[in-house]
Amino acid sequence: MTQTQLLKRLRRSHWIELEKLLKDAYQDGVEAGLTRAHGQRRRARPIRDDATANGLIRQIESHFGLDRFAFEVRVVHPGSGRRVPGGDLLRRYLTAG
């Protein structure tokens, strides 16, 4: 086998391996994107009826990456302005609007 033939064979085999790597990387990215889009953290998810104030705060912290900071949210009653206890269900405080 001549040097030229050897180089052609090496180029071809390297190119095939590179294509396989690129296809696998692309497919992994597509799959990761699908799990992100259809997983638990999908966007525009409505707040459920049985959500608590503490659960809402945890969801806000994790979504915006604030869990490592001293972050505080005050949920208040729309009529009286008093603070809502953390374990209360949010459906108690729904307003028409």
pLDDT of residue 43: 56
Which of the four pLDDT bands, split at 50, 70 and 90, describes residue 6?
A: very high
For the stretch 41-90, pLDDT in tens is 555 566 666 677 777 777 777 777 777 776 666 777 777 777 777 777 77
- At CA 79, angle to CA 74 and CA 82, rounded to 5? 35
Which of the four pLDDT bands, split at 50, 70 and 90, describes residue 13?
A: very high
Q: 55 and 83: one domain?
A: yes
Handedness of CA 72, 77, 81, 83 (dihedral sign): negative
Count how many domains the chain has: 2
- Token pair belonging to 54: 């503490």
pLDDT of residue 11: 92
pLDDT of residue 42: 53
Domain that holds residue 54: 47-97
Q: 40 and 76: one domain?
A: no
- Percent helix, strand and coil across the chain, each to the nearest 5: 55, 5, 40
Q: 52 and 41: one domain?
A: no
Q: 33 and 60: one domain?
A: no
